[in-house]
Chains A and B, each alone.
Chain A
Amino acid sequence: MQKIWLIIKREFLTRVRKKSFLLLTLLIPLFFAGIIIIPVVIAVKGEDHKRVAVIDESGLFAGKLPDEKGLYFKPLAQVKIDTFKQNYDEYGYAGVLYIPDIDINRPSGIEYYSKGQASIMLESNLNRQVNDIIEKKRMELAGIDRQKLDEVRSDVRIAFRSGDDEKQGSSTVAYAVGYASGFIVYIILMVFGMSVMRGVMEEKVSRIAEVMISSVKPFQLMMGKIVGIAGVGLLQFLIWIVLLISLQMLLPLFLSPDSIQAIGQNGMVARNANNAAMMDAMEKVNFVVGSVNWTLIISCFIFYFLGGYLFYSALFAAVGSLVNEDPSDVQSLTFPITLPIIVGIMIMISAVQNPNSPLAVWGSIIPFTSPMVMMARLPYGVPGTVEYWELGLSIILLIAGFLFTTWMAGKIYRTGILLYGKKITLKEAMKWVVKRS
């Protein structure tokens, strides 16, 4: 026990002390934040001070297009569209909105010219504004009072309740939570599994393996490495959670309501979006976030993350012990392990949309895929979507599964780690498993 602790300590410390650990720990969230934030920022900021020339032959729009958020309309008279669309940029316009002489009941032929592709933001802005004006005009013609219409307009949301206690939930939140946690488990299995494999390979290639196992049992060496690397992963997640919480607390101080709105809607511009609606939406989100059983999700996440990691990392360790100097061995030997993980992520993607399909149910029970698939189903509710027996069976099978893979890997590892200069096939390795010790 003393020895395995020493090994765990070494495996943990050598990885945590590396400069790359801190760098990666900070860079990965930055990278993901970048993926989410940059498009929003570009969408919001990119529209800064855009001047759009408007050539209106119908006379319906002149002066009625309101300037907003960096988008300025400049009506131009006495300009021919055919010539102007060739050289509008020389006058400092970002594009030209061309409205032919249209019939208000059957408007067609409205076009927008620009050099590059117009952004989604601009496209939706122009569509909305043009439609607004046409709508207004039509209402005028039909004699409908705009104010009256707004009053009778309905904005009712149906509350979706599920389960015996009629807990209010939202499939959107369940989808997001399920997808995210399933995907994180997938990344953990791959990244940390590979890390275990590389660690074992390093020990074999640098020829320290035999020195080590003249002091400790091969199983201790393998488990020490697996547990040590799990510790690194846990620490990394702890840092990320702390970062996330502090970011959440600090973020409102830096961002204006406008940009929060933009981020909240992921760059999409909603109709009639104003601060009141925003507050309303926030409340709703808080409400449904509250409806998810976070204690269960988080404890299950930790279980499936650890269980899945133990299940697969033992196999990765076994494969690492089979590899000789030839790097092409790695490819062919890891394939049988990465394959079920990839199948798992595919079932997960389908399960998050359809959590009650037989594929999802059995995928969340069988230990090869359960760490990913079960995490995708859990946010939909226990019981309800995931029955207690399913969760229980899944947990028992995963525990049994990792005990089995660890036992099997231990047998392969013990022999493989000392075998040099010979290409070992998986078939041979399986013989070591069934052979008596």
Chain B
Amino acid sequence: MNLLEVRHLKKYYATHKAVDDISFDIPKGSIFGLLGPNGAGKTTLLRMITGIFYPDEGEICFNDRPFDPQKDIHAIGYMPEERGLYKKMKVGDQVLYLAQLKGLPEKAAREKVDYWFNKFEISGWWNKKVEELSKGMQQKVQFISTILHNPALLILDEPFSGLDPLNANLIKQEIFDLSRSGTTIIFSTHRMEQVEEICDRIVLVNKGHKLLDGEVHAIKQTFKEHLFRVGVGVMPNFAQMATHHFTIVKQEDHAYIVKLNEDSSTNDLLLHFIRQDIPVTYFEEILPTINEIFITQVQKTAGYAKDMADH
């Protein structure tokens, strides 16, 4: 069941195609990573999903119905990359105001603010002006104001930028909690290590095009290069390692990185070590990191785009 379906979305600017025919689905309750280098079209994409921009072409389905910005906007919490608060406004009033703009009645909004301020242990900040807070503190307030109205879809654009590790962890835990309670989360970033840690699914975009999408582990499987690391108790001699099942990529201290050949299985590989009487201490598959996939994929399209430009 998908909360959001994006079909052939296009948004052209005068000088370039910001989003050019992108489609993907976001299942309900998933944490969805929207990845891409700077200028890939992520923000434009998010602005269309949040109803800020109208797509030139294509459609967005929200909860199995065509997306209606007027109504559905209340079910979305969006923390843009370019974010801020009214500097002269009191923290409490500010969050209350933003919650009311999301359709919460004042009383309910006040209760919510109390709840979240207590949870984040910032109740004492209510009467402080935003400009008196540090940047990290402002980020916390910003995060609360984004999730206050219990959005079904939470969109976070670079949510950890400007946060110290402690607060980043706090927010991360909150993201997991929200996900567990059924909130669907779109997480836009170019920080790949966070993606692997947090996201279930990703879509990778570059220059307005979708490069790939799917579940994180499935993508890793797709791009795996059949590399394995085998730990050995005793380093074998050269002759012992000669086989048609695999080739040695790298020799490490008490370990080999090997590439499995096309027709061979992992059991063939292990059997070889056993037959040669090489003591195996551990055995693991080396999957590409999202970062590696990201870089190779983006570089590939960069070359592609360059070719196009040359013609």
Contacts and interface: CB of A to CB of B under 8 A. Distances in A.
Contacts of B47: 418
Interface residues of B, number: 27
A215 B73 contact: yes
B98 A213 contact: no
A214 B80 contact: yes
Contacts of A202: 86-87
Interface in A177-224: 202-203, 206-216
A128 interface: no
A212 B101 contact: yes
Given A3-B101, A6-B101, A437-B54, A211 B83 contact: yes
Contacts of B52: 210, 213-214, 418
Nearest to B52: A213
A437 to B, nearest CB: 7
A6 B88 CA distance: 17
A212 to B, nearest CB: 7
B82 interface: yes
A214 B79 CA distance: 9
Interface in B42-101: 47, 50-52, 54, 73, 76, 78-80, 82-89, 97-98, 100-101
Interface of B: 14, 47, 50-52, 54, 73, 76, 78-80, 82-89, 97-98, 100-103, 142, 145
Report whether over half of chain A's contact residues are helix, strand or loop; otherwise say mixed. Answer: helix
B54 A420 contact: no
Contacts of B83: 207-208, 210-211
A229 to B, nearest CB: 15
Contacts of B89: 14
Q: Which 8 pairs, one residue from A and one from B, show the smallest C-beta to C-beta distance? A: A207-B84, A214-B78, A215-B101, A210-B80, A206-B84, A208-B84, A207-B82, A214-B50
A423 interface: no
A3 B101 CA distance: 6
A10 interface: yes
Given A208-B83, A210-B52, A214-B73, A14 B88 contact: yes
A131 to B, nearest CB: 64
A420 B98 CA distance: 22
A136 interface: no
A49 interface: no
Given A6-B97, A6-B100, A211 B87 contact: no
Contacts of B86: 14, 202-203, 206, 208
B139 to A, nearest CB: 12
B29 to A, nearest CB: 22
Nearest to B130: A206
Nearest to B76: A214
Interface in A309-328: none
A7 B97 CA distance: 9
Interface of A: 2-3, 6-7, 10, 14, 202-203, 206-216, 418, 420, 431, 437
6 contacts: A6-B100, A206-B87, A207-B84, A211-B78, A215-B73, A420-B82
A206 B85 contact: yes
A216 B87 contact: no
A420 B84 CA distance: 13
Given A213-B52, A215-B73, A431 B14 contact: yes
A306 B103 CA distance: 30
Contacts of A212: 101
Nearest to B74: A215
A437 B84 CA distance: 27
B102 A210 contact: no
Greatest chain A CB density within 10 A among B82, B98, B102 is at: B82
A212 B52 CA distance: 10
Contacts of B82: 207, 209-210, 418, 420
A7 B86 CA distance: 13
A215 B98 CA distance: 8
A202 B84 CA distance: 11
B135 to A, nearest CB: 12
Nearest to B100: A6
A199 to B, nearest CB: 10
Given A6-B100, A214-B52, A215-B73, A208 B85 contact: yes
A10 B85 contact: no
Contacts of A214: 50-52, 73, 76, 78, 80
Given A207-B83, A210-B80, A210-B82, 7 more contacts: A14-B89, A206-B85, A208-B83, A211-B98, A213-B52, A216-B101, A437-B54
Contacts of A203: 86
Contacts of B73: 214-215
A333 to B, nearest CB: 20
A342 to B, nearest CB: 31
Contacts of A6: 97, 100-101
Nearest to A205: B84
B37 to A, nearest CB: 17
A10 B54 contact: no
Nearest to B106: A6
A212 B89 CA distance: 14
A437 B56 CA distance: 9
A216 B103 CA distance: 10
Nearest to A221: B101
Nearest to A9: B97
B266 to A, nearest CB: 49
Nearest to B157: A210
A431 B142 CA distance: 34
Contacts of A420: 82
B148 to A, nearest CB: 11
Contacts of B103: 2
A133 B235 CA distance: 133
Nearest to B50: A214
Contacts of B84: 206-208, 211
Greatest chain A CB density within 10 A among B52, B54, B97, B101 is at: B101
Contacts of A207: 82-84
A213 B100 CA distance: 13
A213 B102 CA distance: 11
Contacts of B85: 206, 208, 211
Given A6-B101, A206-B86, A206-B87, A211 B14 contact: no
